[in-house]
Amino acid sequence: MSPTDTDMGTGTGTDEGTRSPAPPPLHEVREVEEGVYAYLQPNGGWCLNNAGILLAKDGVVVVDTAATEARARMLRQTVQALSARPVTVVVNTHSHGDHTFGNYLFADSATVVAHEQAAAEMAEHGMALQGLWPGVDWGRIELSLPRVTFSDRMTLSTDGLRVQLLHIGPGHTAGDVVVWLPDHRVLFTGDLVFSGSTPFVLMGSLTGSLQVLDRLRALEPLHVVPGHGPAGGPDLLDMNADYLRWVRGLARSGLADGLTPLELARSADLGPYAQLLDSERLVCNLIRAYAEESGLPPAAPLDVQSAFEEMITLCGGLPHCEA
Ligand SMILES: [Zn+2]
């Protein structure tokens, strides 16, 4: 979550001083361990999520898809270039459309698996995310809901690769799942962890997220592939926890001073967190923190639409989305 973490090595070198820096690539593929790939979409901001590609002997497991038709097709082409075997399972780490809208492009061969709460949220919200960013070219997305759900944990019977799906939370949402490869010690966290961009707990829980991060640390992962931004090690868990503890402290002082979340977000000194992408999420995180400090249970529904409007007010416009 440091500024250097957001540098994806996109190559800004130029032999002409007048040439503007090259835009970041649409995606990058990193082989984290043999047959285990992180599919990254720089710069990891709004709707530019990560995915995972896991090659087993009997097929491919894909962890999350992508937000737009074009980006989901790029993911599918990348999978096909890495393996001729069919995608047998798509795991959705949570319900949000940037991680799930591309499911339908894998539905001919794959079973989509998610937590039962995530599946319910996907059915309830449908394509609502598209309404937040009407300027994005979403393409022709077909809603493809999970066909298999679970409540606590699931092990995929993939040949030659142990893949465990663990429901931990509430954290980012009420239905978060991490994908844990115990033999490789690789952890795909979904949006329970952000790297180089601001954590986001409006639809989940701040307190719950801190407990989640403790549980993820106890797995002792070597590699952590976050929901957005560059992959790293377990230090990513600490960075997310540091930010969330800072938000909690800020919320307590704001409540004591009688400030609204928006007033507090406007006046807050973000310190090192000003360098994170999408720092406007602070107001949404404060809304969740205020609710929890006032006794609301974790992941209790909040008015998401009005929270987004507060964020738009804080930004002076729509948050930037490059999907
Ligand atoms: Zn999300």
pTM to 2 decimal places? 0.93
Confidence of residue 68 (pLDDT cuts 50, 70, 90): very high
Cα 237 off chain centre by: 13
Mean pLDDT of the 290-310 span: 96
Helix count and strand count (H, E) for the chain = 9, 12
Better-scored residue on pLDDT, 238 or 3: 238
DSSP structural state of residue 26: S
CA of 217 to the centre of ligand 1 (A): 20
Confidence of residue 74 (pLDDT cuts 50, 70, 90): very high
Q: Does pLDDT of 3 surpass 70?
A: no
CA of 48 to the centre of ligand 1 (A): 10
CA of 120 to the centre of ligand 1 (A): 15
Confidence of residue 19 (pLDDT cuts 50, 70, 90): low
CA of 13 to the centre of ligand 1 (A): 33
Asked if 141 and 73 touch (Cβ cutoff 8 Å), the reply is no
Asked if 77 and 105 touch (Cβ cutoff 8 Å), the reply is no
CA of 257 to the centre of ligand 1 (A): 31
CA of 227 to the centre of ligand 1 (A): 7
Token pair 């030659």 is found at 160
d(CA 178, CA 74): 23
d(CA 96, CA 117): 12
**Cis ω for the linkage preceding 298 (within 30 of 0):** no
Alpha helices in 112-168 (DSSP H): 116-125, 128-132
Confidence of residue 293 (pLDDT cuts 50, 70, 90): very high
Q: Does pLDDT of 18 surpass 60?
A: no
Confidence of residue 21 (pLDDT cuts 50, 70, 90): confident
pLDDT tens digit sequence for 235-262:
999 999 999 999 999 999 999 999 999 9
CA of 130 to the centre of ligand 1 (A): 14
Token pair 């759900």 is found at 149
pLDDT tens digit sequence for 87-146:
999 999 999 999 999 999 999 999 999 999 999 999 999 999 999 999 999 999 999 999
CA of 183 to the centre of ligand 1 (A): 27
Better-scored residue on pLDDT, 18 or 288: 288
Asked if 59 and 85 touch (Cβ cutoff 8 Å), the reply is yes
Q: Does pLDDT of 4 surpass 60?
A: no
Q: Residue ranges of the domains in the chain?
A: 22-315
d(CA 323, CA 314): 21
Confidence of residue 11 (pLDDT cuts 50, 70, 90): very low
Query: What pLDDT is stored for residue 95 in this prediction?
Result: 98
3-state class (DSSP) for residue 109: coil
Classify domain 22-315 by CATH number: 3.60.15.10
pLDDT tens digit sequence for 154-176:
999 899 899 999 999 999 999 99
CA of 96 to the centre of ligand 1 (A): 5
CA of 8 to the centre of ligand 1 (A): 21
Q: Does pLDDT of 148 surpass 80?
A: yes
| Token code pair at residue 276 | 């994170």
3-state class (DSSP) for residue 29: strand
CA of 234 to the centre of ligand 1 (A): 20
DSSP structural state of residue 46: B
b (16+ CB within 10 A) / e for 233-251:
ebebbebbbebbebbbebb
Q: Does pLDDT of 6 surpass 50?
A: no
3-state class (DSSP) for residue 186: strand
- What are the CA-CA distances from residue 222 to residues 7, 88, 136, 195, 214 (Å)? 21, 26, 36, 16, 15
Query: What pLDDT is stored for residue 16 in this prediction?
Result: 45
What are the φ and ψ backbone dihedral angles of 297, each rounded to 5 degrees? Answer: -65, 155
Q: Percentage of the chain with pLDDT > 70?
A: 94
Query: What pLDDT is stored for residue 12 in this prediction?
Result: 36
CA of 172 to the centre of ligand 1 (A): 7
d(CA 308, CA 164): 34
Mean pLDDT of the 303-314 span: 96
CA of 50 to the centre of ligand 1 (A): 11
Query: What pLDDT is stored for residue 178 in this prediction?
Result: 98
3-state class (DSSP) for residue 79: helix
Query: What pLDDT is stored for residue 134 in this prediction?
Result: 93
